[in-house]
A and B are shown apart, each in its own frame.
Chain A
């Protein structure tokens, strides 16, 4: 009998230890695009080992649970196959442009799982002592908020509804919802420790999770689409934290370590994103973007100067260096493939071509890099803001496609602008700037871009994919003529 519990205990402990190590080693291998694919494979092996070993828990269940074991094992297998199968299928199918909402959804699932574990522990009255009880509640709260918040983030990113929903006094309502949740949590601790409670314990637990889910929804509804990179990062950190806390409750160090590592990762990305927008995390969460009082914009000098796509393409063909600034508008027009085709033509003609990526280009951190990689752009052509910003001054052309606010010089000079202080790409420092744009609209922040009126800036109007096709044809036509 002793061996019957000792061997599984050892096997689970060992498998979890290996898993925790492989997770960290795998993430460490993500420090370069060359080693990163092996990194996720290594982490995957760790995960498989931990999941397989977890079925050894059936050797060591409590006496009351033993009669239910056949049913429970069956349920676990069905849940693994159905949940895993559906997510695997969706993950294989999802378009790269839809990646932010998919990641938000998977993240919400993790938070929901942590919340559900907390619920099982609470309903079953399994917590040993007040510390465990409080930690269970805390993990459950954070997990539930992450679940409902991520679902709202998914719905917003997926376009189910994209208008931020705001009512007056919303912050007070949100604060009350959080206080109510914490209050019910406190009542659960009192009731569980044998104090007389007017509401039965199971009802309190249901109320607790209901309020936590509602708070997650209320907290996410007012946040606008442009702030989603920050929101996704925060919920990633939340889920990690919830998993870590439930790991403590279950006395499982693998969950504790994995959860905290992810929590730290999410926090780091959150701060990076907020910094790239020159806003604090608190500002993103609790104030509504675009609500700042409208200021009078300084009178812009100069005019908008439209040019033909073909002429711009040929000019770049004879340039020495071209830096491309892609924005989400490029992806929205599905123009990445055409753009890279054009880049290959330029490179074949001896032009040095580089891509400059702003940290908030896209709907989640690094999404523009993935979209370019999908189109086949080699990653050694892709540069981040701090690495390339000084190079614009030497470039003959800066080609801005589907980006707007991230190249607006007002962020540098205009103290009254809503984007003042935000780090921007110095596209205006290039000798010549071409801006590919659908029409004369404003950027996401609703500000007119001073760059477009500069003497060295020319506008190429049209759909990004169509414009790129015209540029390709112009450069090809040139080559055909010179060959004839």
Chain B
């Protein structure tokens, strides 16, 4: 490519990036109308079974430990919008923490109970319940201040080619949005629907479980649940989806 051609291509890419950033749509926008309706119907979206279990856990007492509701009275009010502010940097430890991480921290530090473990049914239930309290709230995660280095790491991960198939997240989730990858329609690849009930999983799963599926898809290393890599990526996706309404528990193919 000539120098001028290259400059033009870079300018076009930058433009496309800016345009994409403005139009990012939720994952549900790429579902069939039937599945969209099913997601919004609490009686027909199986994700709500986990929400109900989480709600129960939220007020259950184990031994002398306070229950969640002892600290977070009237959760519909007190926790409305909380999920829309994660991931965030934990002031005490300086670590990036997502909603799952915060729930585990409350459990260990305040309730003095053993951690549930990532992807356990109990943690999925509590996460889905707390996320459901922010359904419809606009995502409000910023890339400034203490989160900046994590955001930069997530962005670099999102944009670099990886795996034997040598593909970057951005090639599918910006460049090929709306195209068919086998039976799936490629979306903007954001996390506003998670935890989500996936038909393929026959259950509820976290965003990190979905990220592991995309890594496997390009034959790349699957990082651990709650790993620094996926946490940074989760932050980048959240900033990218800023202002979009939370829709957990989502329903996906």
Q: Do A and B come from one complex?
A: no
